[in-house]
């Protein structure tokens, strides 16, 4: 009986050691993640960042634009991504610390045309060029995500789904900030755009950009990976810039329009130019 009890105890010890995490030896789990990596960190710019695990994912779409085809397997090492889009308040700290040219000065007329409704401290920064976003990321000790990193992060662990929330349409409540009923109610904007470009029957409560983190996070704990603003990516192609949209309140959103798909991105964006619906977030290698 004593020998049997000892054998059972020994088996349980071996099982726990074999399956558990050992933060002292830097071991890796079945996905190749270092088991001692924190699930969430705070970077030098004060941003919360969440761990995107290492491993393979299915990138692209067979039904989307040519640039999205075909669906293919991509392996990525673990990395951290900003939980939220970079805000106006964060970007102002960067400008003050570095003397980087203020985007508000460059786009003063455009900013004023929106009546200051994009300038809130907790709203995502817009009117930043790819170069501006890259400079901010480097100042913060980070970088812009690749297209593959952005898409994997946006999927939040979902496989083969069209949208970050799954395949259902219209979006479920609190899915994100889109051009919808709230935009259509605003007298300043509703006459400017055909109603076919609205998501009728969906109401996020915001006419323009919302404070970051206002909606439901995805499976990795990331906010606004769809809706709010488009987000710059690091990739260049033949001198052009690639930009995943994540989509926003501006772009067409009817059922046949794929600008809300998790695979959708713009390219051939002009260097040095920003827009009222384009912002960014940063990533960092998980080994650093």
Model confidence at 256: pLDDT above 90:
no
Q: Specify the pLDDT at position 272.
A: 77
pLDDT per position as a tens digit, 119-140: 899 999 999 988 999 999 999 9
Q: Specify the pLDDT at position 183.
A: 79
pTM of the model: 0.82
Q: Helix 88-98 vs helix 130-139: angle between axes, to the nearest 10 degrees?
A: 70
- Say which CATH topology domain 37-285 has: 3.90.1580
Residue with tokens 């969440």, as numbered in its chain: 50
The stretch 182-186 carries a mean pLDDT of: 81
179 falls in which pLDDT band (50, 70, 90)? confident
Model confidence at 106: pLDDT above 60:
yes
Strands 278-279 and 48-52, by their bridges, are unpaired
Q: Which of 6-20, 38-52, 112-126 has the highest mean pLDDT?
A: 38-52
For the chain, which residues make up each domain, given as ranges?
Answer: 1-29, 37-285
pLDDT per position as a tens digit, 233-243: 888 665 566 55
Q: What is the mean pLDDT of the chain?
A: 79
CA–CA separation, 171 and 21 (whole Å): 38
pLDDT per position as a tens digit, 202-211: 899 998 899 9
Measured between alpha carbons, how far is residue 285 from residues 55, 99, 176 in Å? 14, 27, 27
3 falls in which pLDDT band (50, 70, 90)? very low
């Amino acid at each position: 009986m004593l020998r049997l009890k000892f054998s059972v105890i020994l088996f349980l010890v071996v099982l726990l050691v074999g399956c558990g995490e050992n933060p002292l030896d830097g071991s890796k789990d079945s996905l190749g993640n270092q088991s001692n990596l924190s699930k969430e960190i705070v970077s030098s710019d004060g941003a919360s960042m969440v761990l995107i695990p290492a491993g393979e994912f299915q990138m692209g779409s067979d039904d989307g634009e040519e640039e999205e085809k075909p669906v293919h397997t991509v392996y990525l090492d673990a990395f951290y991504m900003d939980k939220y889009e970079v805000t106006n308040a964060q970007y102002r700290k960067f400008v003050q610390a570095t003397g980087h040219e203020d985007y508000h000065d460059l786009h003063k007329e455009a900013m004023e045309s929106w009546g200051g409704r994009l300038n809130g401290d907790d709203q995502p920064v817009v009117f930043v060029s790819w170069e501006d976003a890259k400079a901010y990321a480097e100042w913060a000790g980070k970088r812009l995500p690749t297209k593959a990193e952005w898409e994997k992060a946006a999927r939040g662990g979902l496989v083969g789904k069209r949208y970050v929330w799954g395949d259902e349409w219209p979006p479920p409540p609190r899915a994100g900030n889109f051009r919808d009923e709230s935009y259509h109610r605003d007298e300043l904007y509703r006459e400017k755009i055909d109603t076919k470009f609205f998501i009728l029957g969906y109401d996020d409560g915001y006419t323009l950009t919302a404070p970051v983190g206002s909606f439901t996070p995805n499976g990795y704990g990331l906010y606004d990976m769809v809706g709010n603003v488009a987000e710059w990516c690091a990739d260049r192609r033949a001198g052009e810039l690639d930009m995943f949209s994540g989509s926003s309140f501006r772009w067409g959103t009817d059922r046949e329009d794929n600008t809300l798909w998790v695979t959708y991105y713009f390219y051939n964006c002009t260097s040095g130019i920003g827009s009222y619906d384009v912002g960014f977030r940063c990533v960092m290698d998980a080994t650093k």
